Amino acid sequence: MASRARGPEAVPVEVARAERRSISASYNGTAPLEARAQAQVVAKTSGIALKVLADVGQHVTAGQTLVVIDRDRALLQVAQAEAQVRKLEANYNRATQLAAQKMVSANDVDQLRFDLDNARATLRMARLELSYGNVTAPISGVVASRDIKPGNFVQINTPILTIVDTSRLEATLNAPEREIEKLKPGQAVELTVDPLPGRTFKGRVDRVAPVVDAGSGTFRVICAFTADGGLQPGMFGRIRINYDQRADALVIPRTALLEDGGDPAVFVVRNGKAERATLKLGYDDGPWVEVRAGLKQGEPVVVAGKAALRDGSAVKVLDTGAGAAPAQAAR
| Final residue of a structural domain among 199, 220, 245 | 245
Do 160 and 186 meet the contact criterion of CB atoms below 8 Å apart?
Answer: no
Question: Are 268 and 293 in a shared domain?
Answer: yes
Question: Are 288 and 222 in a shared domain?
Answer: no
Question: Are 83 and 221 in a shared domain?
Answer: no
Q: Where are the alpha helices (DSSP H) in 140-231?
A: none
263 assigned to some structural domain: yes
Encode pLDDT of 157-178 as tens digits. Answer: 989 999 998 888 999 999 999 8
CATH code of the domain containing 256: 2.40.420.20
The number of angstroms, rounded, from the C-alpha of 43 to the middle of its chain's C-alpha atoms is: 30
186 assigned to some structural domain: yes
Encode pLDDT of 27-71 as tens digits. Answer: 889 999 998 888 999 999 999 999 999 999 899 999 999 999 998
Question: Are 265 and 230 in a shared domain?
Answer: no
Please count the structural domains in the chain: 3
84 assigned to some structural domain: yes
CATH code of the domain containing 184: 2.40.30.170
Do 321 and 16 meet the contact criterion of CB atoms below 8 Å apart?
Answer: no
52 assigned to some structural domain: no
Backbone angles phi, psi at 75, to 5 degrees: -65, -40
Question: Are 254 and 225 in a shared domain?
Answer: no
- Measured CA to CA, the distance from residue 24 to residue 22 in angstroms comes to 7
| Final residue of a structural domain among 188, 210, 245 | 245
Q: What is the pLDDT along the chain (331 residues), one digit of tens a residue?
A: 444 555 568 888 888 998 898 888 888 899 999 988 889 999 999 999 999 999 998 999 999 999 999 988 999 999 999 999 999 999 888 888 887 777 778 887 788 889 899 999 999 999 999 999 999 999 999 999 999 999 999 999 989 999 998 888 999 999 999 888 889 999 999 999 999 998 999 999 999 998 998 999 999 999 999 877 788 888 999 999 988 878 888 988 988 888 877 788 988 998 888 888 888 988 877 788 889 998 889 889 988 888 888 888 888 888 765 444 443 433 3
Question: Are 218 and 264 in a shared domain?
Answer: no
Q: Given this model, what pLDDT does residue 320 score?
A: 63
Would residue 86 be called left, alpha or beta, if left means φ above 0 and alpha means ψ between -120 and 50 degrees? Answer: alpha
Which residues neighbour 169 within 8 Å (Cβ) at sequence distance 6 or greater?
33, 34, 35, 36, 224, 225, 226, 227, 231, 233
31 assigned to some structural domain: yes
1 assigned to some structural domain: no
58 assigned to some structural domain: no
Round to the nearest angstrom and report the end-to-end CA distance of the chain.
Answer: 49
50 assigned to some structural domain: no
CATH code of the domain containing 103: 1.10.287
Do 279 and 271 meet the contact criterion of CB atoms below 8 Å apart?
Answer: no
Q: Given this model, what pLDDT does residue 6 score?
A: 56
Question: Are 251 and 301 in a shared domain?
Answer: yes
Q: Given this model, what pLDDT does residue 324 score?
A: 41
Question: Are 268 and 300 in a shared domain?
Answer: yes
Domain that holds residue 266: 11-24+247-329
Question: Are 77 and 31 in a shared domain?
Answer: no
Helix (H) or strand (E) holding 69: strand 65-69
Do 140 and 60 meet the contact criterion of CB atoms below 8 Å apart?
Answer: yes
| Final residue of a structural domain among 196, 216, 245 | 245
Question: Are 234 and 267 in a shared domain?
Answer: no
Question: Are 253 and 241 in a shared domain?
Answer: no
Amino acid letter, residue 13: V
Question: Are 228 and 262 in a shared domain?
Answer: no
